[in-house]
Chain A
Amino acid sequence: MFDLDLVPQGLKLKEGLSWLSKLSKNVGVDASQFLEIGVSPAKRIFRENSVQVLKYTPRTETTSHPPIIIIPSLINRHYVLDILPKKSLIEFLLDQEFPVYVIEWGAPEDEDRWLTLDRLISGRLRRAINRVLEHSGADQFHLFGHCIGGTLATIYSLRYPERVISLTLVTSPMNFETGGQLASWARHPGLNLDALIQAYGNVPWPLMQTSFHMLRPAAGVTKYLRVWNKITDATFMRNFLALEAWGADNMSFPGTCYQTLIQSFYRDNALIQGNVKVAGRKVRLDQLSFPVLNISSVGDHIVPPEATLSEENLSEMSRRHLTSWTIDGGHIAAVVGKKAQRDLWPRITHWMTDWETLPS
């Protein structure tokens, strides 16, 4: 056994190993038990099957804005928006005196294999939002959608625009024809969707997680090599492990919803074509009648900027409602990045506040 102190990287290795030995005492225990992930206090105000609405405890004495309703992705958990103390978008919004509500989709039950996207939006999501309005006593609200949650938020607000003040979309796919590598895989006709749903019901999360990893196959190895350099940096390790824990915490996708997503959205580009039907009525992007802020990331390999909402998808009338910003970084840079925390989040809240004072 060579003497680690004589090897240039040996000292780092020794320190790293002692850090890992502390971790190893907790082998078999969830990372979230010794990492403070998603711990901003919240209470459940509504539940329908697996869907819950969480109301975050205010951090200020008063709240001077209408509520923000956050719709996260169906595939990953909502707490990326509350990943760690002082790195939390939800904490930031609470500090700006916004009442914050989050729709937590939860892991779908076995019978949700027959839940359609129409029913998800016009049923569970609509009732959840109605309950938020009852609970808050507000007439109107801001809607905030992350990733596929933004797509659902857009469809909901096109169908039920009455009380929406503004819609903020963060790396949300709209134009699935330009959806990058993921879209080209989804469009391949070889995969028998009917058989997949019939066999598994809800699409198993390992299948989706594997497809995301295949978008950047080398990253699975190189990230650990990068970590090796910083293994003694406790702050870096805390952030890294928090994101790893969140990234591994996937949920299965309701079967029929997945079928609609692939067939209608990825293959037929139904949202752009105006062929999405909710509660008996077609919704079209040119029906936009409220302000929309669309944020995309340059380095996003899951939802490239050209797959998000753009002026080309809208009519001349609805284009004036769209504001688009592009930031540096990957798919979750806008919700966890240091730069986003410093620059983007205050801009988002200023943008939302501006629309509160103007007549609808």
Chain B
Amino acid sequence: MVGLLSNPKKLDAIEKTIDKNLEKLFANPAFLQSISMMLNANSYRKILVNFALTQIWKSLQLPNKRDQERTLHLIHELNHRIDTLKEEIDHLTAEADAERERPAPIRRVQRRAKAEAVETAREALAVQ
């Protein structure tokens, strides 16, 4: 043991060997299937317990954890929707402000009227 502690290379080699062999075990489908079954069994047990507790609270007309979680989640979703709408409003407001600052285009009718007024003034000058 003392020799092992003072020989890091030996320790590395032992660690690699253990890891290599355990990796084969952990990749074995039969092992994975049994672990999955254990986890699933645990999940199903917990689901049943949660369901039983929920029924007890409901029978006493008391709020249960699942309903509270669902309500809080819906509140978060509504907040998200409000934040998204606020961003859209800010974006549209900024666009509208930018549009307002741009000079308005001269309409064709106004242009024609202006041109006619200039022509009339020239004719009047020519007559004079």
* Interface set of A (CB-CB < 8 Å, partner B): 8-9, 49, 109-115, 119, 123, 127, 130, 181, 184-185, 188, 190-192, 195-196, 198-201, 214, 216-219, 222, 225-226, 228-229
In the bound assembly, the distance between CA atoms of A229 and B7 in angstroms comes to: 10
Residues in chain A near residue B47, CB distance under 8 A: 195, 198-199
- Check if A191 sits within 8 Å of B36, measured CB to CB: yes
- Given contacts A110-B65, A200-B46, A226-B11, are A218 and B19 in contact (CB under 8 A)? yes
Measured CB to CB, the nearest residue on chain B to A214 is B26
- Check if B6 sits within 8 Å of A229, measured CB to CB: yes
- Check if B73 sits within 8 Å of A8, measured CB to CB: no
- Check if B43 sits within 8 Å of A195, measured CB to CB: yes
- Check if A200 sits within 8 Å of B43, measured CB to CB: yes
Q: How many residues of B contact A (CB 8 A)?
A: 39
Nearest-CB distance from B67 to chain A (Å)? 11
Using a Cβ cutoff of 8 Å, how many contacts connect chains A and B? 94
Give 1 or 0 for each of B1-41: 1 = CB within 8 Å of chain A CB.
01011101001001100110011001101001101110110
- Can you sample 30 A-B contacts with CB below 8 Å? A8-B2, A9-B2, A9-B5, A109-B72, A111-B76, A113-B73, A114-B69, A115-B73, A127-B83, A181-B23, A185-B26, A188-B36, A190-B36, A190-B37, A191-B40, A195-B40, A196-B40, A196-B43, A199-B42, A199-B46, A200-B43, A214-B22, A216-B19, A217-B19, A218-B14, A218-B18, A222-B15, A226-B11, A228-B5, A229-B5
Residues in chain A near residue B76, CB distance under 8 A: 49, 111, 115
Residues in chain B near residue A115, CB distance under 8 A: 73, 76
In the bound assembly, the distance between CA atoms of A309 and B5 in angstroms comes to: 39
In the bound assembly, the distance between CA atoms of A123 and B73 in angstroms comes to: 13
In the bound assembly, the distance between CA atoms of A112 and B68 in angstroms comes to: 12
